Structure 1
Amino acid sequence: MQLENPGSGESKTILYWASRPTPVNDGRAIAFESNKNAVLTKKQTFSIHLVNADGTGEKVLVDGAKYGYAVLLDSFGSRLVAESEDRSVLDIDVVTGAIRKHEVNGHLDALSKDGRYVLYRGMDSDVLVGRKLWVIDLETGQKTAAGDVPQDYIYNKGIK
């Protein structure tokens, strides 16, 4: 949800019915972010929903009331990865609905091709993304320093 012209007397809540569609479970389902369940309460929470590829069976997978604004990163098989509002990694099994939360205090950049590792940049403060790269193994929870952000790092250019 986003307020348009806050403080102007004409603030409007903007409904994001579905954004960042991400195919999961070998394309049999689609995950997406939405504020449609919170828009009438004027709370700025986005939940992650899951719907079958044919449009049936929609359900809330990650409740924004519990995790805050969750942002989808990517998927691999039945694994869906998102960043929670507190800068943690959410490792979600779309078949069982199980969510494993990994505290990283970072901004997620990429999921490895095999879906096991997440590349992220550590935070220097509550609002400033740092220049140190880290990798977390989603199977073990092990975090490994990966050095400084290179000068030509694509995410430094505002592309993603």
Structure 2
Amino acid sequence: MILSCLKLCASYGTKQVLKNASLEVKPGDFICVCGANGSGKSTFLKLLSGLERGKSKKSPSFLQIDSAEKMPSLTEDDGSRTVFLQDLPRREIARRIAFLPQSEFPAWDTTVFDMILTGRFAPSGTSYTAEDYSRVKEAARFLEITPLLERSVFTLSGGEFQKCRIA
């Protein structure tokens, strides 16, 4: 299992948007979260990614990871380890989970290359390596946006910007 949550709940004020939501994602799974506007889909994804906390600490979202990793965890009977998102530093969460909100606008003018490079901050830290630069170029090739790398993010179409965000 890669990601799992059990009976996750969330509210905004008095409006409960999630009640007892559960999910288990295994390697190779492709998941689609569907529902009406305002039904809690985005909130559910934010909770799973650790960006928001659920209503109850008794039913947290959690990651189950390889037992060789040295992180705060509970050891299961089968030797695997369960790591609770709320117990991890933000940087550790970012190394394991990527979250792309529905809409976003560039906060400052930068090149597409530099925007994509910022996605390498969690794994690399304060200085980027040759591998980071290589990964940016690899992602751009994969998404067919290599010609955009030197352009300002302010000059992109909506679709081009979305591809850059994914990269």
- The answer to which structure, 1 or 2, has the higher relative contact order (CA under 8 A, 6+ apart) is 2
Fold conserved between structures, TM > 0.5: no
Structure-1-length-normalised TM-score: 0.32
Give TM-score scaled by structure 2 length. Answer: 0.31
**Which is richer in helix?**
2
Larger strand fraction of residues:
1
